[in-house]
Structure 1
Amino acid sequence: MESKADGEDSAVSRLHAKAKSALKRLSKGRRSDGSPDADSPRSQDGSSSRSSQISPSSDASVKPLTLLLFHSRNNNVEALRELLKEKPELVNETDYDGRTALHVAAAYGCLKSARVLLENGANVNAQDRWNSSPLADAKASNHQEVMKLLAEKGGKIMGSHGQEIKSVAPPTILKSDWEIDPAEIDLTNSTKIGKGSFGEIRKVLWRGTPVAVKTILPALSDDKLVVQDFRHEVELLVKVRHPNIVQFLGAVTKKPPLMLITEYLPGGDLHVELKEKGPLPSATIVNYALDIARGVTYLHNGPNTIIHRDLKPRNVLIGECNQLKVGDFGLSKLMKMTNFHDMYKMTGETGSYRYMAPEVFEHRAYDKSVDVFSFAVILYEMFEGSPPFSHVDAYEAARQVARLEKRPPFTKQYPTGMKELIQDCWQGDPYKRPLFVNIIPRLEKMKQEAQAANPPAERSHLWQRRTGHGSG
């Protein structure tokens, strides 16, 4: 006869197995770089009908920290106890954003999980990347019981992350000329061009102009954290104005469905361009690189520095006359954490492994130079026709770059100075990477040299209007 203890062990094993099974299902239908299948609908912000993040595990097994976060988020106390019994050091281990399992439990009001974690030595005042403590996260979400427990254990409200979320007042029509009456957006007479976990992206005719409308699911519109994060995103985008940045046009913030309205770019994204054409001509690459560099230079040098953190071909869109525009400024933050995968995406998987700077992969502090590293990988991919270390999965590629200090070989013909620029930009030491404001003159020099070497007739094809890449 099975003993009670045996039965409990079996139940815990089933919980672990269920978590691992859920991760495997999420990983199905994905390519080695973590991107969706070719038949997945794509949006202008790079999201798809499948979850847009890759699994945090490079094989079928799941990391212990990942399991700990998952069980903490779901109040699986028996599984937590068993996992911490086997690996007690996990209790204060941190994810990509410096968040512990106690941060996760506090943010989502998981009282039982919080108790177990504290019983096992969790640091009640651990601080994440934003210097936010578990009590600050619990307060931001108004989880009174968790707040009481943490306070009793000596928890303090530290950091501004949670307080910032609570202090943002809803935008009003009196101070926001970008607030749009939802009656103007006729979603019934529109074309779906993408779908993500947060909602749909549709092509809509608004005030006589085709635009891209990103709707937030009504269910997410009731989530206070999602709504506040959405408003933070709007307040950021409303300040961004540049020819090489996807243009924000307006938003609906007062009632669901929440919506972001941006310009519609029919040319698709750089990922599709590279997939269809492979290596691009040098002159085209230099022009593309200048567009990206100018857009990111604007983000990095405004009154408030904006770090993109997820610069990759899918987030670079193509407009008329082959002009590139940088898009997707963190809409993945709007994802609701309804299961393990979404939770991990929000707390730890910002960015994409294939284009990730070593300091980000290693959970170290970082600054705007992470965008410089990603830019170097994009440059390399445009010349070579495929991303670095394409023979291995994205996580392993990032691991080799960060921990083994590997860089891919150059196999194609590069213009003078380009290899040196790429090598400077993907330096392991972020302080040795050039600023974008200094990258632009180097690219302009390459462009001038290419123009001097080629008569205008040979360059005319570069400025022909693109066709055939529309999203609908």
Structure 2
Amino acid sequence: MMPHKKEQHSHKGHQDHHKRQHHHGDREVNGAHEIDNMSFQGPGRREDGGGSAIHMSNLRIGDLLGKGAFCEVHRGWLLKSISNQEEVAVKRVKKELRNGTQRELAMKDLLTEVEVLRRIIPHENIVKLIGFSESGDETFIVLELIPEPLVERISAWKYRNERLTSIVLISFFQSLFGHSCCSSSERERTNLWRERVIAGRDLTAALQHLHDVAGNPNYSLIYRDLKPSNISFHGNRLILFDFGLAKFIPIATHEHAHITMTPETGSVRYMAPEVHRGERYDHKADIFSLAIVLWQIFSLETPFAHLDPPAHRRQVVDGNHRPQIDPSWSTNLQLLLRSAWAPLPNNRQDAATVLDRLNHEIQDLNALLL
């Protein structure tokens, strides 16, 4: 694992033209913010209640790890016993937003995240809610600490890939002069590729879990903000976090028609065209974002890096331009990406189908490494 760098934050990184807009169709937050008494439209709370209340005397807040549009995340320590404390992440509203409308929107994001995490069944690729705490007019949510952002992992993968590519090329030229070729480096490159496909599989598994709401027959959960800065690693475990824009919708609704929700919600680089245009959208908007993130994991490059927002609108949203797919990737992966980022939502595969394709890809790589 790469050491954590403070300037590349695990819980909130580069905003990437980030838009967190809210409208009256979403739940408003005013006055006191009592988490246990919140009115919420969605599936019932899990029997275990998710995170529990934490007394402020048991929580010590440390250095700032990162900040987003509304909230900031600090390193913290949760006292579990006299001799035992757990290192955690503590998320709260930014100090400069302690009053007014922006504070209400920030509290809405914060409390939405708590309620989502308390209502879904835990999943290994979704951040663990440890608890929440209130002090005066402040609310804190306490989450597991995730040390390594996806952007750092991509940088590490890219470094390893470039080093291995150089070794393989040198070995190839040596073989022309009768020296043995280094097959171990080629095997290591395959292992590196497999790591990235597994990361994509784990991200897709988290998204499928949300869309299915752990098998709840009545509701689906749309994440609405899928991007690298909301993804981190703890060892080899990929973890999705930041559920402030997530929204429950009835299954019956998105089976028959897209519903009206907040337009331009999420980050432009990863945003589905229908969301960017302010049209009705459903869980297939998440699939588009997933495809762009998967491409970034596979290619180790930033998507649409050369496009400013107006050019992105012309070329990607209206012109259906997509990142270039490496022809060396398997036919399975190429078809997966083309389907997942299709212009029309109904032409995109669902998360379960994407997950199945990625599992098949991993099986093929496992067989190759035998």
Note whether the superposition's TM-score is higher than 0.5.
yes
User: Equivalent residue of 1:296, what SS?
Assistant: helix
Establish whether residue 396 from structure 1 lines up as the match of residue 276 from structure 2. Answer: no
Q: CA deviation at 1:412?
A: 5.5
CA deviation profile, 1:13-49 (whole Å, cap 9, x unmatched): xxxxxxxxxxxxxxxxxxxxxxxxxx9834333246x
Which position in structure 2 is the counterpart of 1:370? 285
Which position in structure 1 is the counterpart of 2:240? 326
Establish whether residue 44 from structure 1 lines up as the match of residue 7 from structure 2. Answer: no
Pick closer, same or farther for the CA change 1:425–1:228 going to 2, 3 Å: closer
In 1, distance between residues paired with 2:271 and 2:77? 37
Which position in structure 1 is the counterpart of 2:188? none
Which position in structure 1 is the counterpart of 2:154? 274
In 2, distance between residues paired with 1:184 and 1:309? 33
User: Equivalent residue of 1:391, what SS?
Assistant: coil
The 8 Å contact of residues 42 and 195 in structure 1, kept in 2 or not, is answered as no
Pick closer, same or farther for the CA change 1:44–1:297 going to 2, 3 Å: same
Which position in structure 2 is the counterpart of 1:314? 229
What is the count of residue pairs matched by the alignment?
A: 297
Pick closer, same or farther for the CA change 1:378–1:179 going to 2, 3 Å: same
CA deviation profile, 1:348-381 (whole Å, cap 9, x unmatched): 6531111111111111111111111111111211
User: Equivalent residue of 2:314, what SS?
Assistant: helix
Establish whether residue 209 from structure 1 lines up as the match of residue 73 from structure 2. Answer: no
Q: Which of 269, 279, 289 is equivalent to 2:200?
A: 289
Which position in structure 1 is the counterpart of 2:166? none
In 1, distance between residues paired with 2:139 and 2:245? 13
CA deviation profile, 1:217-245 (whole Å, cap 9, x unmatched): 45645557344553333222222311010
Q: Which of 369, 386, 391 is equivalent to 2:301?
A: 386
Establish whether residue 263 from structure 1 lines up as the match of residue 144 from structure 2. Answer: yes
Question: Which residue identity lines up with residue 216 of structure 1 in the other structure?
Answer: V
In 1, distance between residues paired with 2:230 and 2:51? 27
Q: Which of 410, 415, 427 is equivalent to 2:330?
A: 415
CA deviation profile, 1:373-404 (whole Å, cap 9, x unmatched): 11111121122221333222355235311111
Q: Which of 191, 205, 210 is equivalent to 2:63?
A: 191
RMSD over aligned CA atoms reads 3.2
User: Equivalent residue of 1:186, what SS?
Assistant: strand
- Uncovered stretches (5+) of structure 2, i.e. residues with no partner: 38-48, 162-191, 248-261
Establish whether residue 235 from structure 1 lines up as the match of residue 115 from structure 2. Answer: yes
In 2, distance between residues paired with 1:191 and 1:167? 29
User: Equivalent residue of 1:249, what SS?
Assistant: strand
In 1, distance between residues paired with 2:273 and 2:369? 38
Q: Which of 354, 361, 366 is equivalent to 1:439?
A: 354
Q: CA deviation at 1:305?
A: 2.0
Pick closer, same or farther for the CA change 1:262–1:453 going to 2, 3 Å: same
In 2, distance between residues paired with 1:317 and 1:43? 9
Which position in structure 2 is the counterpart of 1:449? 364
The 8 Å contact of residues 282 and 414 in structure 1, kept in 2 or not, is answered as no
The 8 Å contact of residues 369 and 433 in structure 1, kept in 2 or not, is answered as yes
In 2, distance between residues paired with 1:44 and 1:331? 18
The 8 Å contact of residues 416 and 446 in structure 1, kept in 2 or not, is answered as no
- Uncovered stretches (5+) of structure 1, i.e. residues with no partner: 1-38, 57-95, 100-129, 133-159, 334-346, 456-472
The 8 Å contact of residues 88 and 145 in structure 2, kept in 1 or not, is answered as yes
Which position in structure 1 is the counterpart of 2:104? 225
Structure with bigger helix share is: 1
Q: CA deviation at 1:329?
A: 1.3
In 2, distance between residues paired with 1:191 and 1:332? 27
In 1, distance between residues paired with 2:193 and 2:346? 28
CA deviation profile, 1:127-173 (whole Å, cap 9, x unmatched): xxx6x4xxxxxxxxxxxxxxxxxxxxxxxxxxx546x5469972349
Q: How does 1:51-62 map to 2 (within 5 A)?
A: 52=15, 54=17
Pick closer, same or farther for the CA change 1:441–1:232 going to 2, 3 Å: closer
Pick closer, same or farther for the CA change 1:213–1:308 going to 2, 3 Å: same
Question: Which residue identity lines up with residue 136 of structure 2 in the other structure?
Answer: K
The 8 Å contact of residues 373 and 426 in structure 1, kept in 2 or not, is answered as yes
In 1, distance between residues paired with 2:282 and 2:71? 30
Q: Which of 171, 178, 184 is equivalent to 2:35?
A: 171
The 8 Å contact of residues 309 and 370 in structure 1, kept in 2 or not, is answered as yes
Q: What TM-score do you get using the length of structure 2 for normalisation?
A: 0.70
Which position in structure 2 is the counterpart of 1:251? 132
The higher radius of gyration belongs to: 1
In 1, distance between residues paired with 2:224 and 2:277? 15
User: Equivalent residue of 1:301, what SS?
Assistant: helix
Q: CA deviation at 1:300?
A: 0.5
In 2, distance between residues paired with 1:251 and 1:409? 44
Question: Which residue identity lines up with residue 194 of structure 1 in the other structure?
Answer: G
In 1, distance between residues paired with 2:320 and 2:310? 14
Shifted more, 305-314 versus 176-185: the winner is 176-185
Establish whether residue 351 from structure 1 lines up as the match of residue 262 from structure 2. Answer: no
